[in-house]
Chain A
Amino acid sequence: MKKLVISIVLVNLLAACASQKPHETTAVPAAPAASAAATAPATASAVAAKTAVDPLNDPTSILAGRSVYYPFDVAAVQDADKPLVQAHAAYLSKNTARNVRLEGNCDERGSNEYNLALGQRRADGVMKMLELGGAKTGQLDSVSYGEEKPKATGHEESSWSQNRRTDLNYAK
């Protein structure tokens, strides 16, 4: 079953690469599901149905948002991002087979070690909120990258604001 899901994901990815239009291909899983059905007819249709209704893959869903942002040297989830985290908590509580990794990041102000600690606190803060919202501990993991993996590399607020972030990274 797991293998099948992986193969579908792979086919999806290949399709995305081939067409260079990832937004269209993610919304239309029918074709790859059909090709998977040829190798495992008993379960493929069920998987295809599940994939089709998974709100995680719906670009219009609040769940399409996978990042939480912070002010400088702050680790608490801001009011603006609370609905996003709560929606993911509700999703995880209903979809107990899904696992998510919280990845905390910081801007480059502060020492590398302090930022590693701050990023961990950010990730753990989101994790706690997901738990309170109904996700199970076993579905969650947290990690900090501190300032080591910046998304934007400039030395100004426009870069820093993108790097002060916790990403919700769902396991495939």
Chain B
Amino acid sequence: MQKILFAVLGVLMLVHTSMARAALSIEIIGAGEHQIPVSIVPFGGDEKLGLAINEVVTGDLLRSGLFRLVDPAGKSPHEAAEVHYPDWQVRGTEALAIGTVSAQADGRIVARFRLLDVVKQVELIGQAVSAGDGQIRAVGHRIADLIYEKLTGNQGVFSTRIAYVNRQGKIFSLIVADSDGHNEQIVLKQNEPIMSPSWSPDGSHLAYVSFETGHAAVFVQSLYTHQRKAVANFRGSNSAPAWSPDGKQLAVVLTRDGSSQIYLMRPDGGEIRRITFSGAIDTEPNFSPDGQSMLFTSDRGGSAQVYRMPVAGGAAQRLTFAAGSSYSPRHSPDGKSFVFAHLSGGRFYISLQDFQTGQMEALTEGGWEKKPSFAPNGRLILFASEARGRGILATVSSDGRVKQHMYTQSGDAREPVWGPHL
């Protein structure tokens, strides 16, 4: 009887594990105006690899909200000479992607692809993209980036990665995944909470908060060697790590001298010095792209609001004044605006505020929406949301037009943060 029970448990656990591994499924809400009509022909050569790349490329382009996919309707050219432009012009497509893909003897995947301007009948891109064994999705994301960059003029972010925390009951996992949520890798898994992952500017390390020592301590971990170190583990809480743009400093929040205050230190934990002296709660520091100033959350005025101060020290200036409370500020990559979570009337909104005009705009309809962070091209914002009673990841375009939900298969996804270009 006991053996049978174990066998049943074993099967259940297998099912469970495969569910946890299954990729996030994606739901797109709304659509941008002025979408560019494009056709992506499944690549020739290795048909299976071709279809896999096609799925990644079309998924990426659709999610950006900037493209409309025009069906190739049975036409399948793989070389420029095979393209009969009038066939594509009558369908209204403006750009056509074609190519071939093959797996080399050593397992490397090589795709040769072309992007053609259907209207002008010229080649926009002719390039080979390759990746190591099994990294077919990486090839797809790179091709999607090349198409996006050529047709929009902005840098693509499909090859970048995101980090987030998955909570399943009392099990917490720190996850790194592709920008579309696929290819999840577990960086850390434990029975104690994990919070506030933060990417080093070169994408090689994550700083985060772990409760494994019984209280909140800041760790820095290499994503290559997986070596990790507790860099702030003083009495009370150690939290909210944020890297300076040059990667040489880590801002952290410590309570070792009283209330939560912001400190600067080296990423290895050395040379700690305190930079806020409010006696209130000062937390969630975020460096400006030029490294000169810092946004943070403080309740020094009576409620939680966003403030800015010079990193070198000096007076802090309050930036948010709307009714309610404001949290988790992050600079846009161009430094002209910041995004934050605004709690008003019992709902959380992801809001954007321009530094120069001070004008604030809610990008979402409101709900349980927290912890926004910009994609490195500034066009999309990743945040934690909720749907059907579970914590999920979501994105919204920085103009508020295109929204996308990513459902994790199980557990609550929380504390997401978009990584840098590699």
Contact = CB atoms under 8 A, between A and B. Distances in A.
B304 A148 contact: no
Nearest to B412: A153
A91 to B, nearest CB: 23
Contact of B239 (A113, A143, A149): A113
A142 interface: yes
B297 interface: yes
B138 interface: no
B193 A149 contact: yes
A141 B281 CA distance: 20
A105 to B, nearest CB: 12
A112 B414 contact: yes
A127 to B, nearest CB: 10
A124 interface: yes
A121 B193 CA distance: 19
B232 to A, nearest CB: 13
B341 interface: yes
Interface stretch (B55-63, B141-149, B210-218): B210-218
B268 to A, nearest CB: 22
A114 interface: yes
Interface residues of A, number: 23
A118 interface: yes
Contacts of B260: 116-117, 120-121
Contacts of A119: 237
B237 A114 contact: no
A73 B303 contact: yes
A113 B284 contact: yes
Number of chain B interface residues as a range:
35 or more
A112 B196 contact: yes
Contacts of B240: 113, 116
B85 interface: no
Contact of B304 (A110, A124, A142, A145): A110
Nearest to B304: A114
A114 B195 contact: no
A155 interface: yes
B214 A116 contact: no
B343 interface: yes
A117 B327 contact: no
Interface in A86-135: 109-114, 116-121, 124
Given A142-B236, A149-B193, A112 B371 contact: yes
Contacts of B327: 110-111, 113-114
A144 interface: yes
Given A144-B215, A144-B236, A121 B281 contact: yes
B325 A155 contact: no
Question: Which of B195, B209, B284, B303 counts the most A-chain CB atoms under 10 A from its CB?
Answer: B195
A155 B371 contact: no
A76 B248 CA distance: 38
Contacts of A113: 195-196, 239-240, 253, 283-284, 297, 327-328
Contacts of A121: 259-260, 281
Interface string B135-163: 00000000000000000000000000000
Interface of A: 73, 109-114, 116-121, 124, 141-146, 148-149, 155
Given A114-B281, A116-B209, A145-B211, 6 more contacts: A111-B370, A111-B371, A118-B281, A120-B237, A124-B255, A124-B259
17 contacts: A73-B303, A109-B343, A109-B346, A110-B325, A111-B328, A111-B341, A112-B195, A112-B196, A112-B415, A113-B195, A113-B283, A116-B283, A117-B259, A118-B281, A121-B260, A124-B259, A146-B195
Interface of B: 193, 195-196, 209, 211, 214-216, 235-237, 239-240, 253, 255, 258-260, 281, 283-284, 297, 299, 303-304, 325, 327-328, 341, 343, 346, 368, 370-371, 414-415
